[in-house]
Amino acid sequence: MNRRKKKWKKRLVGCVLAFAICMYGPVGWTAEDIFPKEASGAVEMEEDTVLVGGMPVGIYMETEGVLVLDTQGVKGMDGQEYEPAHNLVQSGDYIVGINDTRISDKKELVRTLDELDKKEVVLSVKRDMENIDIKLDAVECEPGEYKLGIWVKDNIQGLGTITFLNQNSEFGALGHGIHDNDTGVLLNISEGRVYRTSIRSVVKGMDGVPGSMEGLIVYNRYNRLGTIRKNTEKGIYGQLDDIQALFSEQMAVQVAKKEEVVPGPATIRCYVNDKLEEYAIRILEINEAAYDTNKGMVIEVTDERLLQETGGIVQGMSGSPILQNGKLVGAVTHVFVNDPTKGYGIFAEIMIRESEN
């Protein structure tokens, strides 16, 4: 591993200089910066080589419209209880408009309701990728004050791990999608960003109680690292603007095909105790035809150092790269609640393919 890192650093000199000159704009890296042009097989290496991650990032995503969590009753001016949205609006719907006014977040929703001068409302809703209009009567709770009786949210924040960076400065992370905790719905995002984070503590996992990484994230432009382009069941993907801030240790590896991954020794790369290291694991099972693509392999942490610090796999490790035989073979996605030493992983090949779509 040390030899590979040294070789990578020597070949990256030109890329580092280019980054220093262009540090105020998005910068990609290409295989030409890494592999000598005269090297045999250089073209083939370009296509399946990435920078391997393992670094935690803060995640902020805004939904496309306002996500409906549930409906509730509201009290009208007459003192009666009403449920104007019951059986009309569903948990998991996205409100994208009211009476032909576009809605992108909760602030716009509240402002539009404040401007209502009649109870008749037409909600434009996105449900299961279809756009539908829903007519309902808002409840006047105070003179000129209308309510719909709907619980909503419009953003989500959290912590995750970067898996890889490709030649176009595009990253893949998590290995699974980000779902709303209340509805279980995969969040349909309008925009998202990744930020620097510092891990302050780790809550150790125990049988029946998953552990977690606890970090400090300051969501401002100075800590912003890049943008999230899409949130899918196979991970989140986007563009890094500041590569050096995240990939200070740049290690290039090839991406393994699914059929190259075998049960046996491997490592995961993750950030524990203020440093990025590889820890020993064992791939227990391979299931290329798994119904859930982010459960294509079963892994077990065997490294005593990691077991001592975290108890195994904890929340926040999702996306930690899995390496075997010097190649990126996958990423950690889930932990077994009743046994934190074990978890699931997704094949790296699947994440790479998803990043290209």
Given a contact cutoff of 8 angstroms between Cβ atoms, the answer to whether 54 and 269 are in contact is yes
Nearest to 214 by CA among 190, 198, 230: 198
Active site (catalytic) residues: 176, 303, 318
CB atoms within 10 A of CB 211: 21
Task: Compute CA distances 13 → 29, 122, 250, 314, 327, whole Å.
Answer: 12, 59, 11, 36, 23
- What does the alpha-carbon distance between residue 212 and residue 210 come to, in Å, rounded to a whole number? 7
Chain centroid offset of residue 85 CA: 32
Task: Compute CA distances 268 → 24, 283, 332, whole Å.
Answer: 32, 11, 8
Residues whose CB falls within 8 Å of the CB of residue 84, separated by 6 or more in sequence, listed in order: 74, 136, 137, 138, 139, 147, 148, 149
Residues whose CB falls within 8 Å of the CB of residue 195, separated by 6 or more in sequence, listed in order: 57, 58, 59, 60, 217, 218, 219, 223, 224, 225
Helix (H, G, I), strand (E, B) or coil at 302: coil
